Structure 1
Amino acid sequence: MIGTPPRLGTIYSGWIVLSACFVSAMLIVGSTIYSFQLFVIPVTEEFGISRATANNAYISMLVGLAIWSPLVGRLLDKFDAKYVIMFGSLSFGGAFTLVAMAQSLMVMMVGIFVMLSISVCSCGGLAGNAVTVRWFQKRRGRALGLMSVTSSVGGALMVPVISFFITSYGWRMAMLLTGWSVAIIIFVLVGLFVRGRPAPADINDFDEFDTQEDVSRKEAPTGDKTLSLKQIVTTRNYWLVAMGCGLLLASDQAVLTSKFPFLVDSGFTVLQATTIISAMTISAVAGKLIIGFMADYFDVRHLFALVALFHFLLLVVFLMRPDYWSLLIFVSIFGAAVGGIYPVWSSLTASAFGPASIGSVLGFMAPVMQGLSIIFVSFIGVMHSQTGAYDAAFQGFMVTVVMSVFFIYAMNFRTKTSADSTRG
């Protein structure tokens, strides 16, 4: 069968598909969100602009992600995800080429807002999560946990590579090398090993789905029953997930953008601050994997409450301002909340809507969740400007974290326990 990933012994084909999507998202996120900082200094020096002006490029990408995610999510539901990701890889190479050759800041902004944003949506976490949800049912939580690690791995891998390119060849050549190296790798890898949905043989030959009858009734791999935009946004669960996960993710984003200056302001040295952040990052990776694994066995709403509790306690610890070693221990434990929310969000959405419309639902949530993140990031900056500290912002985030739990527990969907009892 043309386009079918080869079976390697008795390995479920979904793991091969997941691996290709993992590499795609890892390269895209590592080359954009994590590596943006590397281009700030050379670009500001060449064009004679301020750091704030340079940061507008990052903001334009975030706005682009909010605008293009619904469209890309829809395409992922209507067509084979393989072709959407392959198109995104070519858009990525084109975007980096346009920015590398541009002599105008406006041209750069357009390239980032349109082509680069589309490529991040098409090749990054949105596509990877949509494909993963369709290929996994019984082990969906751990599969989504693995997918959520792509950002951390991508940052660790691509930052030193791109930094070497910039140092050796200049920022423009570095963009060309990065853009087309990443584009070619993704295009070939995804073209060979990715299919958007499992074939009947994958379902029948492996114990990943309940039964063929259950799959066709509840979680049909075919993409002909996707919900319309009106059906999605008028569904109660859509707003509960978007607001519940959005509030917690927005608090995470705001804390992440301010944790280094907060630690320095609290009297820690630069080395101590970076060590604390590193410990928190490692804890976040562990949280993604552990919470993702637990999502296969427990009600995801309870896991969300656990993640929210850890985030709440992390804010409490920041407000208490303990000594260095105590804070290092606390963030190593509670930092799991920063990572655990990602597989929980995808699992909640899949439980509420099923695989057929997962791309559309995740995509249409982006404007709501990105909007909340922008508000929270702005809020923490304003609070610091007015009070000279982050305490008021942290206290406000504690309230929104509690609110997020109420949103999630107001959801209504078929849990693993209820499904098992119904079968019995």
Structure 2
Amino acid sequence: MIYSFTFWVTPFRDDFGVSTGTVLLAATLGQVTMGLYSPVAGRIMDAHSVRLLATAGILAFSAGYVLIAFATDFWQVLAVYCTLLPVGAIFAGGMAAQVATARWFEKRRGAALGISSVGTSLGGFVFPPIVTALNQSLGWRESHLVFGVAFVLIMVPIIWLIVRDRGTGEREPGDTAPPAQGLASAEHGLASPEYRKQSPENGLASPEHRKESAEHGLASPEYRKESPEHSLASPEHGKKSAEPAGQPQDFPDWKMGHLARNRAFWYLVAALTPLLVVFITIQLNTAPIAEEAGILGQQAALLISTLSLAMIVGKIGYGFMADKTDHRLLIWFSAAIAMVSLVLLQTAASYIAFLVAYALVGISQGGIMPTMGAIIASRYGPANFGRVGGLIAPLLTLTAFGPVIFGYLRSGMESYGPIFQLLMLVVVPSVVATYFLGPNGRETPPEQTGA
């Protein structure tokens, strides 16, 4: 629904008697508070059921839309955008989808992250025409009521139908990552009395097990000689079995303090922030940009739909490429496409040219989420995904001030042309920071490197 916010600007401004800048403040504050909540939310998602949290998120989002429908003053809208909507967006949005995906996939994680992030862009493609149509036929208050009720009736059943928390012994076919609650966990050790008591039919000391083990060579000298690292009785196995469930055994546990001292973490933030500033500024200013070019109504809505559809292409494409290439190349590619789109926006002389420009913006930014997800999972480990993503989120909320700053700058200019030129300069730091991010590789906490 964030892609549709630009179409609430005019009715909010007219009904509440506030300025456009004040209305845009709602989106900015929503992004900022969402970032502030994210570190805590990330830790919660690492420790609890994503399905339950996503359900709670939908309920919060729905309640927020219903309350906005009955707002009598704009401060009430601002309050909802700072409370219920950010909570709903976190627990039922892209971050929750990426946490769940990172838990399930190892070999094809980049592709999976790209596909899982398609939902937000699909919403951006579907909802703008619906929002504009409902605004024209029902009004913005009734539209908010319709959406608030529809979220619960449609999304909650879908969540319980398709969202699965990774269960005992389950894994992606061909995935080498350990299961979320594997039988080799410290809590349910294979040699523990509890395990033998609970599962005598699977007991290691049973004749059936010894027969099967002999067949597969588990107890044979050859097995112990060839694969000592897998020996059930080896010190290495005992050490590995005590590690946190669901985390690849060679990924350490990352604390917030470790991340704060990790250079790659800060280079990643510096690489992504400028690109997101460009995207959010263009996306939230779509209505005035289109109006300046004489593009109104459903044609303006189609610009957002085109952007969102292109983001789907970008997310899936980048997701598959993230499994096979240096992640820095993907960020540089996004930066290059962003530059081309900004040049085209300055020179566009037709509606088709604007559609192409918005498609390029969508492809450029569509790859950011799966690329970021692949970088986090490959460098810090899936069990730390929510924690790392949760710490990045409040830092990326700085991008929410982009539309406001450039909006004020636009008020002193004759057109958006100079704004597009300034946005091109914003892209440059992303290119530099990406270089210093370094090639793909696993990060080590400072305490283990002596830093």
Which residue of 1 is the match for residue 234 of structure 2? Answer: none
| Aligned: 1:221 with 2:246 | yes
Which residue of 2 is the match for residue 76 of structure 1? Answer: 45
- The match for 1:381 among 387, 407, 412 is 407
- The match for 1:289 among 303, 306, 316 is 316
Deviation, 1:153, is 1.6
| Aligned: 1:208 with 2:175 | yes
Deviation, 1:170, is 5.3
Letter in 2 for 1:240: Y
| Aligned: 1:405 with 2:436 | no
Give the conservation status (yes or no) of the 8 Å contact 1:253–1:377: yes
Which residue of 2 is the match for residue 125 of structure 1? Answer: 94
Residues 358 and 107 of structure 1: CA distance in aligned 2, closer, same or farther (over 3 Å): same
Which residue of 1 is the match for residue 357 of structure 2? Answer: 331
Which residue of 1 is the match for residue 213 of structure 2? Answer: none
Structure 2 unaligned blocks of 5 or more: 180-229, 231-236, 443-451
Give the conservation status (yes or no) of the 8 Å contact 2:6–2:287: no
Residues 332 and 107 of structure 1: CA distance in aligned 2, closer, same or farther (over 3 Å): closer
Residues 298 and 200 of structure 1: CA distance in aligned 2, closer, same or farther (over 3 Å): same
Q: Which moved more, 1:121-130 or 1:97-106?
A: 97-106
Give the conservation status (yes or no) of the 8 Å contact 2:342–2:357: no
Deviation, 1:247, is 1.4
Residues 57 and 304 of structure 1: CA distance in aligned 2, closer, same or farther (over 3 Å): closer
Deviation, 1:382, is 4.2
Secondary structure in 1 matching 2:382:
coil
Say how many residue pairs are matched: 380
TM superposition score normalised by structure 2: 0.71
Give the conservation status (yes or no) of the 8 Å contact 1:80–1:197: no
- CA–CA separation in structure 1 for the residues paired with 2:140 and 2:44: 33
Identity value in percent: 27
| Aligned: 1:140 with 2:165 | no
- CA–CA separation in structure 1 for the residues paired with 2:87 and 2:107: 31
Q: RMSD over aligned Cα, in angstroms?
A: 3.8
Residues 226 and 191 of structure 1: CA distance in aligned 2, closer, same or farther (over 3 Å): farther
Give the conservation status (yes or no) of the 8 Å contact 1:225–1:356: no
Residues 249 and 180 of structure 1: CA distance in aligned 2, closer, same or farther (over 3 Å): same
- CA–CA separation in structure 2 for the residues paired with 1:246 and 1:381: 18
Which residue of 2 is the match for residue 354 of structure 1? Answer: 381
Structure ranking higher in helix proportion: 1
Structure 1 unaligned blocks of 5 or more: 1-29, 417-424
Residues 273 and 219 of structure 1: CA distance in aligned 2, closer, same or farther (over 3 Å): farther
Give the conservation status (yes or no) of the 8 Å contact 2:246–2:383: yes
Secondary structure in 1 matching 2:99:
helix
Deviation, 1:184, is 4.2
Secondary structure in 2 matching 1:231:
helix
Residues 98 and 398 of structure 1: CA distance in aligned 2, closer, same or farther (over 3 Å): closer
- CA–CA separation in structure 2 for the residues paired with 1:332 and 1:58: 21
TM superposition score normalised by structure 1: 0.75
Larger radius of gyration: 2
| Aligned: 1:251 with 2:278 | yes
Give the conservation status (yes or no) of the 8 Å contact 1:145–1:290: yes
Letter in 1 for 2:83: V
Letter in 2 for 1:398: M
Which residue of 2 is the match for residue 298 of structure 1? Answer: 325
